[in-house]
Structure 1
Amino acid sequence: MTDSKRLLFTSVIVACLASCGPGTPSAKDAQDKINQLNSKLPIEYTELKKTNGIKGEIEGKEVYEMSFTAKVVAKEDLETFQRFKPTGVDTMFIAKTDTAMLKKAASMKGGFMSMVDVKPLSSFKKGDLLFTRNGMINFVKTENGWR
């Protein structure tokens, strides 16, 4: 094969690969999307790793569901509270700088007929590991990529 044919062949392969784009969202895409969705919380997903994925179609749109595992760390110093309510128990993450919310959480004391009870749990410093999370996130393919 001559140099000019080799150059032409290589150029065609590179052009094809560049035009195809990624076939599915990456772990970084998932981590960025999750952090964007949780941007108002004092937590951040890090070291996200894809554990599984499935591509499909819903109502004519290409979709992708990614299973993942990730570390969740404190984005800033924070307090955690456990909230008990009729529908179950959840954890509240409140930044130490959010004094209004900290006061509100502290005032939610359960009584005899209370619908909500809040109990303080722990304090964390910026960068502390809060927990490791296994979860799923969904994407829809658009003209501008996976969203």
Structure 2
Amino acid sequence: MHLAELNIGRLFAPVDDPRVKEFMDNLDRVNGLGKRMPGFVWMSEGSGEPGTGNTENSIDGDPQLVFNLTVWEDLPSLEAFVYKTIHAKFMDRKAEWFEVLDQQHFVMWWVEEGHQPTRDEALAVLDDLRKNGPSERAFGWDEIRKKST
């Protein structure tokens, strides 16, 4: 099994607004690093236009509600990217570019090797976590870390 993750966020401003320029200018850099990391399997991507990442694929018709959806071989691979690369520096600065959401916005789940989850599938897993709490089907960092120790 591989580990899928979905993280959603709502930008403070449209993707072409100067207030989110630094974030948008670094999407390719951070995503490119992720794709080169050991254990990286797959990432949902937009058109491939430079500097857009996956921001073209918004949620609920809201162009500022964007998501990141990836698949990794295992938890240590995902953790290494999230916490031990330049990604961590941008994550620490998320309040500069993203609104604070009023509900759970991150979820992980296991998928069969070779499976590339769709946005709708990932949102359904997130909805499962929101409605039912952590389970084998949908979980967060705390739950998966407990299981791996």
TM-score by length of 1: 0.23
Greater strand content? 1
Q: Which structure shows the higher helix fraction?
A: 2
Q: TM-score, normalization: structure 2?
A: 0.22
* Structure with the greater alpha carbon radius of gyration: 1
Higher RCO structure (Cα 8 Å, ≥6 apart): 2
